Amino acid sequence: MTATLRIGTRRSALALYQTNLVAGLLRQAHPDLDVQIVEIDTKGDRIRDVPLPQIGGKGLFTAEIEAGLLDGSLELAVHSLKDLPSSLPDGLVLSGSPTRAAPEDALVSARHASLADIPSGGVVATGSVRRRAQLIVARPDLEFVDLRGNIDTRLRKLEDNGWDAIVMAAAALDRLEMPERITERLRAPDFVPAVGQGAIGLEIHQGREDVEAWLAPILDPETTLATRAERVFMRALEGGCSAPVAAHASRQADGEWSFHGWVSSTDGARVLAEHVTGADPVALANQVSERMLAAGAREIIAS
């Protein structure tokens, strides 16, 4: 009898692209596996006119999908890993990730060649507390407004509202084949990405060895280890998906690992940032988080 694997996903174009990517990898690895995609509305998708931090609660884009894993109507959930809280519901585990896309943020502007070129008093839109805080540090002379919606909606708002620029994940534009819309890629150390940004998170029910076996051939060990380190850092600081916490782990050409950790107050007035290198990214994440906690990171995040 043919085995069936049902994948839960959000309905957005990016979510469906990522889910179809995963489904394609699974079908290629297991030609006899019946892979089905189940589209699900989440709270974060239904409430589009309120800034994310004001909606409150964890798992704004994941809870309804996770419910399907828990009740057995799904075998796999595909998430943008940056949307997945550091602590998962009892009974669920993160299996890993396929190869990561670009982790950095992207500045999108029809008027200016870079962030530095935006004149004082210019307006930049973003829906992320972290991005806003980093932008405030880099350009305190700009005005920042909230931005919600899917990728097409965000790009349309840029034009309709006459803003100078918007900032979003580069991976979203790369995956939707719109890299030409990227004006400037904002990279560390000044712009450290969200934990897991650019990576796809594959979440399953604990104990499903059959699903683990199906997923094993499509997981990328380097991406999985890097994002594990980033999530260890976020969990240690108790930073949720909407907190001004950022981390990025990457393997360098010499085989060593680089780890950037960054936290701030929501207004960007207080910042802790560190960059370390070493052989084990998880050890680096623990090292940086311990030093930041000793320096008052939790109080800074809460302020």
Rg of the chain over all Cα atoms, to the nearest angstrom = 19
Are 53 and 129 within 8 A, CB to CB?
yes
Are 40 and 199 within 8 A, CB to CB?
no
* CA–CA–CA angle 40, 45, 46 (5° rounding): 95
The answer, yes or no, to whether the previous bond of 189 is cis (omega within 30 of 0) is: yes
Q: How many CB atoms lie within 10 A of CB 46?
A: 10
Q: Which of 32, 45, 49, 83 is catalytic?
A: 83
Active site (annotated) includes residue 117: no
138: its two tokens: 């880099």
Coil/strand/helix, residue 154 = helix
42: its two tokens: 């989440």
Q: So which residues are the catalytic ones?
A: 83
